Homo-oligomer: A and B are copies of this chain.
Amino acid sequence: VETIPWLDETEDRAWRAWMTMVERLRSQIARDLLVECGLSEPDYLVLVHLSEAEDHRVRMSELATRLNWSKSRLSHQLDRMQSRGLVRRESCPSDARGTFAVLEAAGLGEIERAAPRHVLSVRRHLIDVLDAEQLNALAGISDRVIAHLSGESACAEARRAAEDEALAAD
């Protein structure tokens, strides 16, 4: 009845600890940002990208790609930010289908005020908590997982088939 590879004690411990860390760390940093700066994580990310862009403007499609977001998600997010005066939309002259997301002066002010506070939050809760070796290990682990996720879509079907067999045999 053990055709399924359950997690052993070490694996389970690592998985649970990771889950807990992610949940607690993300919510803490998000709360800091919201309380201190009145910005959500998505708000912050959009503002960072626009503030670093040429002319403070990026095509919606391009911005969605850079953020690794769906077009729909970005469109909704921009609706909210536009209604608060942080960004605006402008049509693209060279392609009538296209739209630019453009940073407003208010948005620039917000991100300049928020950035140092956000860095402090990240430092306080994560960076300064780890030693140099752990920081390095974290980068290595993250890179490997990301690379695997990026590469595996190619052979996903074969893997699914193999797993279904394993499940059926149980």
Contact = CB atoms under 8 A, between A and B. Distances in A.
Q: How many chain copies?
A: 2
Interface residues of A, number: 54
A11 B146 contact: no
Contact of A134 (B20, B68, B137): B137
Contact of A167 (B13, B24, B116, B166): B116
Contacts of A137: 134, 137-138, 141
A123 B15 CA distance: 9
A18 B134 contact: no
A119 B17 contact: no
A21 B167 contact: no
16 contacts: A5-B119, A7-B123, A11-B127, A14-B135, A15-B122, A15-B126, A17-B142, A18-B126, A18-B139, A21-B146, A24-B145, A24-B146, A116-B167, A117-B163, A130-B145, A137-B141
